[in-house]
Structure formats: C-alpha cells, structure tokens
C-alpha cells in the first residue's frame, strides 16, 4: 500500500502537472513579450 501524502508536493498528480508547467515555461521563454499574453486577453463574445 502507498504511503499517504504529507504535503501536496508528494502527490504524483502535482509532480506531473508541475513538470508540465515548467516545460511550457521553457518552450515559451523565447517568445516575444507581446505574444505571451495575447491569448489570455482575447475578449469572449457574450
């Protein structure tokens, strides 16, 4: 049986998500600053 997590960093799902986020940061680092926030601020039609 697996030992219970003592903190959130012990969770496998958190470790995998953290690795994914770091990979995305590495991949997007060379992007121009104007491109980084472009997708986050696209207005949605209501």
pLDDT tens-digit series, residues 8-30: 999 999 999 999 999 988 988 88
The pLDDT mean for the chain works out to: 80
Token reading at 26: 């590495």
Helix (H, G, I), strand (E, B) or coil at 38: coil
- Give pTM, 2 decimals: 0.62
- Whether the pLDDT of residue 41 is over 60: the answer is no
What pLDDT shows up at residue 5?
83
What pLDDT shows up at residue 43?
61
**H helix or E strand, kind and range, residue 19:** helix 12-28
């Amino acid at each position: 049986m697996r030992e219970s997590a003592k903190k959130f960093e012990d969770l496998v799902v958190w470790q995998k998500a953290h690795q994914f986020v770091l990979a995305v940061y590495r991949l997007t680092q060379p992007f121009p600053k104007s491109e980084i926030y472009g997708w986050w601020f696209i207005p949605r039609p209501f």
